[in-house]
């Protein structure tokens, strides 16, 4: 799966400079500690591939012509104290920084701007009992902040318990992987599968049962599950689309295609799509960022 892309220059010196920038990027993000370090082994190998057009791709899978990139073998966790739990996947630190838990999404809680969703209050209460006023360790991935300037992190208790993972295990959160932040993705997918099979928490609620894509309406707000059979693939400048009908499709950012198998392998097969629906005119679309949200049935 591709986790970072860059473009090399036309000249050798430019290419070498770009290569060093990429390596420094990975090294800095994975190794710089801003607080009390709590080290864990991070054994993922990263490989660099350059195609005939000069495009440089970084991946955690060794393909033909791939060269290994040397990265630090340890990452750091940073000690903080939680001041407030905002909702099931967001908290506020004593220093005022807001933290969005990586790899998970919990149902929304009621606010002035939106109605609450089934399971939202339960997830918030669960998180409050475990984190409010407590010390935690934050572990970052490749992106440290989102566009809202929230820290993006995995949260660990001092005893090593992984809070993001525990939310999934207990059926309180859905997996929501956003490349390039892929750390712990395999663990999350397995935990979700087990919680779903056991019908824990949100997985037994009517709101989150899969519906046919033909049932999509403008009232289907929030995180949803749909099933359908894709009929064709259409590639455009930014996105590649799996077309289900004249009114429904899913779109995948072309930069994320490397995480997925050949999209034509989905054609004619029933799949489940997980995520949020957007509408333009009379057409409905869902943006899918990771294969965990596009499941063959």
Q: Which residues are catalytic?
A: 100, 108, 150
**Could you give the CA distance from residue 86 to residue 96 in angstroms, rounded to a whole number?**
12
- For every residue of 29-75, DSSP letters joined together read HHH--SSS---EE----EEEEE-TT-EEEEESS--TT-EEE---SEE
**Could you give the CA distance from residue 81 to residue 96 in angstroms, rounded to a whole number?**
10
Task: Provide the β-strand partners of residue 84.
Answer: 92
Residues recorded for the chain: 297
Beta strand 98-101 with 151-156 is: parallel
Cα–Cα–Cα angle for 6, 8, 13, rounded to 5 degrees: 135
Name the DSSP class of 217: -
**Could you give the CA distance from residue 283 to residue 231 in angstroms, rounded to a whole number?**
16
Chain center to CA of 15:
30
Q: Residue 102: which residues within 8 A CB-CB, separation 6 or more?
A: 141, 152, 153, 154, 164, 178, 181, 183, 184
Number of C-beta neighbours around residue 44 at 10 A: 11
């Amino acid at each position: 799966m591709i986790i970072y892309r860059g473009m090399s220059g036309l000249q050798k010196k430019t290419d070498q400079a770009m290569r060093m920038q990429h390596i420094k990027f990975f090294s800095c993000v994975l190794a710089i500690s801003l607080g009390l370090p709590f080290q864990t082994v991070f054994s993922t190998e990263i490989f660099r591939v350059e195609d005939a057009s000069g495009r440089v791709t970084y991946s955690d899978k060794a393909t033909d012509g791939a060269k290994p990139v040397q990265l630090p073998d340890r990452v750091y966790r940073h000690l903080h104290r939680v001041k407030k739990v905002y909702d099931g996947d967001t908290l506020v630190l004593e220093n005022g920084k807001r933290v969005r838990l990586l790899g998970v999404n919990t149902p929304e809680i009621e606010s002035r701007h939106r109605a609450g969703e089934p399971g939202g209050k339960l997830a918030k209460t669960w998180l409050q009992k475990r984190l409010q006023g407590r010390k935690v360790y934050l572990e970052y991935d490749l992106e440290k902040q989102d566009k809202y300037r929230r820290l993006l992190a995995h949260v660990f208790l001092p005893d090593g318990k992984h809070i993001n993972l525990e939310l999934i295990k207990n059926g309180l959160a859905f997996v929501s992987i956003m490349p390039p932040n892929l750390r712990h993705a395999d663990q999350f997918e397995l935990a979700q599968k087990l919680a779903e099979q056991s019908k824990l928490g949100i997985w037994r609620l009517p709101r989150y049962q899969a519906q046919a894509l033909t049932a999509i309406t403008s009232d289907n707000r929030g995180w949803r599950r749909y099933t359908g059979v894709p009929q064709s693939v259409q590639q455009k400048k930014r996105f590649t689309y799996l077309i289900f009908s004249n009114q429904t499709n899913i779109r995948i950012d072309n930069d994320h295609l490397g995480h997925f198998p050949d999209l034509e392998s989905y054609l004619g097969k029933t799949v489940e799509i997980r995520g949020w629906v957007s509408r333009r005119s009379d057409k409905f679309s869902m943006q899918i960022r990771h294969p965990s949200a596009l499941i063959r049935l």
